[in-house]
């Protein structure tokens, strides 16, 4: 079972908000069978979801649970973190459905957050003002000055390859769309 984009929005947005409020969300709410069965996203695009060219950003076999990988997407200089959580996640991809990716530009003032704690599944503290984000719960703020979840990168898997094909929520510094940057070179994208 894989997530289409509608599911992704529900998993990343609604689930995160409800989880933050202490509401337990049945998995059936965030999962559906509306997919192509091949690990690829299909279906409707949500208003807050911005499509970008499908670009290879990593491979399942090279991911380590304790060592996140970083990649620029969709524009050069817009850094993201690719993480194998080691536990199933509503928006995770891969055979264990535990691989997720988020912008690692802090939603407070845009500093790059690079510390990852596998025990707590958190990214942070931010080197600027210590905000910390929970990557197991939609990138929501766990601590600090930030008030917005981290933007989440939509991933699809094809064999061992991990592709990005869009971003949910606005990356820090962008008030409308992500227009205006130089898109990263397509690496294995189709
Ligand atoms: S820029 Fe990250 S907490 Fe301020």
Centre of ligand 1 from the C-alpha of residue 4, in Å: 32
pLDDT category at 164 given cuts 50, 70, 90 is very high
Q: Is the pLDDT of residue 7 over 80?
A: no
How high is the mean pLDDT of the chain?
A: 78
Q: Which residues, 6+ apart, have CB-to-CB distance to 127 below 8 Å?
A: 111, 112, 113, 114
DSSP state of 189: -
Q: Is the CB of 112 under 6 A from ligand 1?
A: no
CATH superfamily of domain region 46-168: Rieske [2Fe-2S] iron-sulphur domain (2.102.10.10)
* 154 part of the active site: no
pLDDT in tens, 101-111: 999 999 999 99
Sheet holding 116-117, edge to edge: 116-117, 122-123, 132-134, 140-143
pLDDT in tens, 99-142: 999 999 999 999 999 999 999 999 999 999 999 999 999 999 99
Residue 164, token pair as written in the block? 């990005």
In the chain, where are the structural domains located?
Answer: 46-168
Q: Is the CB of 146 under 6 A from ligand 1?
A: yes
Q: Is the pLDDT of residue 168 over 50?
A: yes
Nearest CA to ligand 1 atom 3: 129
pLDDT at residue 48, as a whole number: 60
pLDDT at residue 180, as a whole number: 62
Q: Is the pLDDT of residue 156 over 90?
A: yes
Centre of ligand 1 from the C-alpha of residue 109, in Å: 5
- pLDDT over 90, % of the chain: 55
Q: Choose between 16 and 176: higher pLDDT.
A: 176
Q: Is the CB of 150 under 6 A from ligand 1?
A: no
Query: Which residue is catalytic, options 5, 84, 108, 154?
Result: 108
């Amino acid at each position: 079972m894989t997530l289409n984009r509608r599911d992704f929005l529900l998993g990343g947005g609604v689930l995160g908000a409800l989880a933050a409020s202490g509401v337990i969300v049945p998995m059936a709410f965030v999962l559906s069978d509306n997919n192509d069965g091949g690990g690829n996203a299909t279906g409707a695009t949500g208003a807050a979801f911005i499509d970008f060219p499908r670009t290879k950003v990593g491979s399942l076999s090279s991911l380590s649970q304790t060592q996140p990988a970083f990649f620029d997407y969709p524009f050069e200089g817009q850094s993201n973190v690719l993480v194998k959580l080691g536990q199933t996640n509503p928006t995770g991809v891969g055979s264990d459905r535990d691989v997720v990716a988020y912008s690692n530009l802090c939603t407070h003032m845009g500093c790059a957050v690079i510390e990852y704690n596998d025990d707590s599944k958190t990214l942070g503290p931010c080197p600027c003002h210590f905000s910390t984000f929970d990557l197991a719960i939609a990138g929501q703020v766990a601590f600090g000055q930030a008030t917005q979840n981290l933007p989440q990168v939509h991933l699809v898997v094809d064999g061992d390859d991990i592709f990005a094909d869009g971003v949910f929520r606005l990356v820090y510094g962008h008030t409308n769309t992500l227009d205006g940057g130089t898109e990263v070179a397509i690496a294995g994208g189709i």
